[in-house]
């Protein structure tokens, strides 16, 4: 939420909906808020509570699509802000496409910092994630193979938007069996270690890659209840994101979605550009180079606006 008080702008964490408090609590539990505030020092003033003069006002809600240009801000946001003095920006993603366009190719340093340099995990969460990453490292070294992170969404495989011809790269979603065949055909052998974002799909891949794991198999036992319960979905996503971005040699998205786009951006920022897009491969073999994400081969992810 952004409010105006005198000459100062504030980004606040005031609740907006009934479940907003839970969201903010999750944010505080996952991310280091103090480091976030410090990283924005001299850029924007951040407060946890609204100034008393405006705390009773109901803020105007302005829907803002992701990666808007300055012109949009000037025309759609500033007039409301100047009139109301207290607004809530509701960001949404009209598309999962993160391609660099003429509008976002000139992203300034503040925007780059917000996207790639302002969020850090809480020490307790970071400790759990690091322990899981170290477990994967150990397993990978023992197997003498590479670590591959595979993002699966088995729950949407049957949906209409997932269906393609099955004979070309027009198919947008891939099953565990198809992912296994794809990886074998591009040269990964049974010694490779796989990390999956969905536990239910292990068996289908273990036939090809015995060293296949999900969160349940590598998280410390005493942390399982907190991190893997039905109310910890955000924590689970954080685990998947950090393993997919910071440790895996290769990242394979089985579906083209927002998670893939965000992971791709973070991997590009850190130089980990081995992002392979699945395809149905005729014959028995292929070269992995032919399946590198267009975000990398065409350098058309908006992250390249920050990291040239």
149-162 pLDDT tens trace: 999 877 777 665 66
Residue 21 pLDDT > 70, yes or no? no
Rounded distance between C-alpha atoms, residue 135 and residue 133, angstroms: 5
The mean predicted confidence, pLDDT, of the chain is: 80
What local confidence, expressed as pLDDT, does residue 9 receive?
Answer: 40
Average pLDDT over residues 183-192: 92
CA distances from 165 to 157, 183, 280 (A): 14, 20, 10
Distance separating the N- and C-terminal Cα atoms of the chain = 32
Residue 308 pLDDT > 70, yes or no? no
Tokens of 244: 């997919």
Rounded distance between C-alpha atoms, residue 112 and residue 307, angstroms: 9
Would you place residue 103 in the very low, low, confident or very high pLDDT band (cuts 50, 70, 90)? low
* Angle (deg, nearest 10), helices 20-30 and 233-242: 40
* Residue whose pair of structure tokens reads 């109301």 in the numeric block: 84
The per-residue pLDDT for range 204-240, each reduced to its tens digit, is 899 999 999 999 999 999 999 888 876 778 889 899 9
Would you place residue 23 in the very low, low, confident or very high pLDDT band (cuts 50, 70, 90)? very low
Would you place residue 164 in the very low, low, confident or very high pLDDT band (cuts 50, 70, 90)? low
Rounded distance between C-alpha atoms, residue 269 and residue 296, angstroms: 11
Rounded distance between C-alpha atoms, residue 279 and residue 288, angstroms: 11
Instruction: Give ranges for CATH 3.40.50 in the chain.
Output: 123-305
**Between 105 and 273, where is the model more confident?**
273
* Helix (H), strand (E) counts: the chain: 13, 9
Half-sphere exposure of 47 (CA within 13 A, CB side): 14
Assigned CATH class of 123-305:
alpha beta
């Amino acid at each position: 939420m952004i409010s105006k008080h005198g000459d100062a702008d504030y980004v606040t964490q005031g609740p907006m909906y009934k479940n907003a408090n839970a969201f903010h609590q999750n944010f505080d539990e996952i991310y280091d808020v103090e480091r976030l505030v410090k990283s924005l020092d001299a850029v924007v003033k951040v407060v946890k509570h609204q100034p008393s003069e405006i705390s009773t006002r109901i803020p105007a809600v302005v829907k803002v699509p992701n990666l808007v240009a300055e012109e949009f801000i000037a025309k759609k946001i500033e007039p409301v802000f100047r009139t109301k003095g207290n607004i809530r920006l509701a960001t949404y993603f009209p598309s999962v496409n993160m391609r660099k366009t003429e509008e976002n190719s000139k992203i300034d340093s503040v925007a780059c910092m917000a996207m790639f340099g302002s969020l850090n995990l809480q020490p307790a969460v970071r400790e759990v994630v690091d322990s899981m990453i170290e477990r994967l490292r150990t397993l990978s070294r023992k197997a003498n193979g590479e670590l591959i992170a595979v993002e699966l969404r088995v729950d949407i495989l049957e949906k209409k938007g997932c269906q393609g011809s099955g004979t070309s790269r027009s198919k947008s979603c891939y099953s565990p069996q198809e992912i296994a065949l794809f990886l074998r055909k591009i040269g990964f052998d049974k010694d490779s270690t796989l990390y999956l974002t969905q536990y239910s799909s292990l068996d289908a891949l273990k036939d090809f890659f015995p060293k296949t794991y999900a969160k349940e198999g590598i998280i410390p036992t005493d942390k399982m209840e907190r991190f893997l319960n039905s109310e910890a979905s955000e924590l689970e996503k954080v685990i998947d994101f950090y393993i997919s971005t910071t440790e895996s040699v290769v990242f394979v998205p089985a579906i083209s979605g927002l998670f893939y786009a965000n992971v791709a951006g973070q991997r590009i920022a850190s130089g980990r550009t081995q992002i392979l897009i699945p395809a149905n491969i005729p014959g028995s073999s292929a070269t992995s180079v032919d399946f590198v994400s267009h975000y990398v081969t065409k350098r058309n992810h908006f992250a390249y606006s920050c990291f040239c």
